[in-house]
Amino acid sequence: MREALGALLLACSLSATAGGTLLPAHGSVEVAFSPADDTETLLLGVIGAAHRTVHVQAYVFTSRKLAAALVDAHRRGVKVEVLADAGMHRSGRNALPSLLEAGIPVAFETAYAAAHNKVLIVDAGHPGCAVATGSYNFTWSAAKRNAENILVLRDNCAVVDAYLQNWQRHRADATPVSRLPQRP
């Protein structure tokens, strides 16, 4: 009986980590759901709290307010870097030109059918570390019209570091851009 229980517990623990990384719970978790909650203000606060770094992964990025917050962070000495889905940011009403004009490094992900991540990573490896992620694209529609969700995990640097390592893997395969190409 004892061996059977041990085998069951081992099987459960292995299935819980199969294909992923099991990390301990620390810090706080904040949830927000648009359009009922003010998700954009939540993300502006996450960016505003950055002291050292902000790493962004964006599928769609049209929010001028979030772009302005990243530019402000960059101007106050925070290292800001952005990865974006190449197919969604060739031209049009996106916010990447303002980031590029401010000198923020932007790279396009081209190795995937869709680089569908929506992530803000703040101060990885340092006090006040945070990651914001969810279905929320960095757009006005996500804030005001769509049913979206955001999780902000604070002070769990193991989770934040895992997100940063994933960001770095994606960055290694991405193509830096200095301006957006125009569509034909």
Of the pLDDT bands very low, low, confident and very high (cuts 50, 70, 90), residue 92 is low
Cα of first residue to Cα of last residue in the chain, in angstroms, is: 69
Q: Which of 55, 74, 89, 118 is catalytic?
A: 118
Q: What is the predicted pLDDT for the residue at 89?
A: 63
Provide the token pair at 5. Answer: 């229980």
Q: Residue with structure tokens 């060739």?
A: 90
Contact call for residues 101 and 75 (beta carbons, < 8 A): no
Does residue 136 have a pLDDT over 50?
yes
Q: What is the predicted pLDDT for the residue at 44?
A: 97
Q: Which of 123, 155, 170, 173 is catalytic?
A: 123
pLDDT, tens digit, for every residue of 8-33?
333 444 445 567 888 888 899 999 99
**Structural domains of the chain, with CATH:** 27-177 (3.30.870.10)
DSSP string, 106-154: EEEE-SSS-----EEEESTTSTT-EEEEES--BSHHHHHTS-EEEEEEE
pLDDT, tens digit, for every residue of 106-126?
999 887 778 788 999 999 999
Q: What is the predicted pLDDT for the residue at 181?
A: 61
Q: Which of 37, 51, 72, 116 is catalytic?
A: 116
Look up 118 and say whether it is catalytic.
yes
Look up 144 and say whether it is catalytic.
no
Q: Whose CA is closest to 94, among 17, 4, 3, 183?
A: 183
